[in-house]
Structures are given as C-alpha cells and as structure tokens.
Amino acid sequence: MKIAIYQFAPLWGNKAGNLKKIESRINHYSGIDLWILPELCTTGYLFDSRQILAPLTEPFPGGETCSRIEAVTKRNNTSLILGVAEEYNEKIYNSAAVFNNGKHIGTYRKIHLFDQEKLLFDSGGEPPAVFSINGTKVGVMICFDWIFPETVRTLALNGAQLIAHPANLVLPYCPDAMVTRSIEKRVFTATANRIGTERLSDGQQLTFIGGSQVTGIDGKRLGQLSRHEENVLVVEINPAEADNKAINQNNDLFVDRKPELYRLN
C-alpha cells in the first residue's frame, strides 16, 4: 500500500482555498492508495468562538467538501482521510472523514479534545473505528488522542494494521510517542501534521510543529518531513506485516496481555 501524507499550512477560514490546494496536490500524483491529511485542514484550527467556527462546519455526507473529496478520489482512483469541522445532530465535532475510491465510508469524531478545543467542539461519543480500505484495516484517531495509549490499543485490538493520524501538533512529544505506539502494538502509524502559525484576536498564538512521519511495526521511522516545509511524504508499506504480533518465539504482544490483572479504575 502506497500512502502519502500532505503536510501544509491550511488557509485560515478559507475552505474554498484549502479544497483547491488539496485537489491540485492529489491530481499531481498517481499511484497513491491512501492520502492522509492534517486535522481541521479545510478550516484552520484556532477560533475565537464557536459562533465564528459554526458557519465553516459541514455534514458528512451532505456538504460541498464531502462531494468535492468524493470527486477527486474517484478521479484519481485513491482513498483519503482528512480532518474536518463536522456538523452533526446540531453539534460540532473535530472529525476525520474517510473516503475510499470516490465514496465517503465513515467519520471518526475526536474523543480527546485538546485545550481550547473544549470550548469549540463536542467530544466524540463513539469508540475509535477501524475502516477497511481496499483490504487494509485502517484505524483512525486525531492528534491529542495519541496521549491516551488506550486509543491505539483499542484500534489495534480491533484489527488495525495502520493508524491514520491527522494532527495539528503543538507539543513536541508526539512524533517520538508514535514510535512507541508502533512498538507496543506492532502497527504502522502515519501522522499527518500541519505547519505554520495561527493567532486569536487576543494575541494568543500557536505554532504547529510539522514533522509528519510514518513509523513501521518495529518503531522505525520510514519517512519524516521537516518542521517547516509544505511537502508530500510517500511511503510504501506491507500492511500484512502488522498481523504478526510475535516479537520472538515466546512473546506475542496480544496473546501475552493479562487484561484480567489490569485495574481500569
């Protein structure tokens, strides 16, 4: 499976501009099986209020972004996962929409909201989901979900071979933590982060750390982008490698678990 991460700085509040950027990147490449794009990459990340964010939200399916991404993935015979601001049942979610060869096949709503996201979004109430993309089991989580190892564990125990991870990272720890997530669960991970800086009207600002990467089942980085450049990272993986959880003749990372001994509260 050939995966491509598109790392860029979304244009704040400019869905039309971001969709144009995304479409032109995808049209420029061929032979990509799965694109992974950053969190909230059609809208930008920082908003002064929910009222300012609300007009940029859309239903999935049903909105223009959904139909444009369906069209571009169909035209290019590819699949794509991107972060969006989703309107659903009169709530607003920080979501990742999943497209398989021209069809929207599902949406994951971010469970663990980071900092001021709690003022803007509702948190997702469904378990993290695994999607089948041309035979590959792809688990989806968004940015800060990384700090809760339960997220990747749930996805991996449900069969995920690859974790697709749209992100808008600001803390420096995540790229190294994803190496550990791969080692712990023997899964591939693909973190699609953004670059650039955004500001609120009171002067608060966030700078995003780039460094989008793909890790292999042994934690090796199979590719990584720089902190500042807009670029595409293409990595070919064999997802079936993630099905073998043995690290030697006597240890299997899933068989050896002792859930009956793990106190959960």
168 forms part of the interface with ligand ACM (CB under 6 A): yes
Least separation in angstroms between CB 42 and ligand ACM: 15
Residue 207's H or E segment, with its range, is strand 205-207
* Active-site choice (58, 66, 87, 143): 143
Give, in order, the Cα–Cα distances in Å from 49 to each of 14, 52, 99, 262. Answer: 17, 5, 29, 40
46 forms part of the interface with ligand ACM (CB under 6 A): no
Least separation in angstroms between CB 115 and ligand ACM: 7
Q: Which is nearer to ligand ACM, 114 or 131 (CB)?
A: 114
**Helix axis angle, 149-157 to 174-185, nearest 10°:** 30
60 forms part of the interface with ligand ACM (CB under 6 A): no
Amino acid, single-letter form, for residue 111: I
Q: Binding pattern to ligand ACM, positions 139-158, x when CB under 6 A?
A: ----xx--------------
Q: Are 45 and 167 in contact (CB under 8 A)?
A: no
Q: Are 57 and 72 in contact (CB under 8 A)?
A: no
Exposed/middle/buried for 153, CB within 10 Å: 0-12, 13-18, 19+? middle
Q: Which stretch binds ligand ACM (CB under 6 A): 6-14, 165-173, 232-240, 245-253?
A: 165-173
| Sole residue written with tokens 């042994």 | 218
Give, in order, the Cα–Cα distances in Å from 78 to each of 4, 25, 44, 130, 168. Answer: 11, 13, 24, 18, 24
Give, in order, the Cα–Cα distances in Å from 123 to each of 119, 191, 220. Answer: 10, 21, 32
86 forms part of the interface with ligand ACM (CB under 6 A): no
121 forms part of the interface with ligand ACM (CB under 6 A): no
Q: Which is nearer to ligand ACM, 169 or 217 (CB)?
A: 169
143 is catalytic: yes
SS3 260: helix
36 forms part of the interface with ligand ACM (CB under 6 A): no
* Active-site choice (15, 39, 117, 198): 39
Q: Binding pattern to ligand ACM, positions 177-216, x when CB under 6 A?
A: ----------------------------------------
Q: Are 139 and 156 in contact (CB under 8 A)?
A: yes
Q: Which is nearer to ligand ACM, 120 or 214 (CB)?
A: 120
Q: Which stretch binds ligand ACM (CB under 6 A): 7-15, 162-170, 209-217, 220-228?
A: 162-170
Cα–Cα distance measured from residue 199 to residue 152, given in angstroms and rounded to the nearest whole number = 31
Least separation in angstroms between CB 83 and ligand ACM: 9
Least separation in angstroms between CB 253 and ligand ACM: 27
39 is catalytic: yes
Provide the annotated active-site residues. Answer: 39, 110, 143
Residues that bind ligand ACM (CB under 6 A): 39, 114, 143-144, 168-170
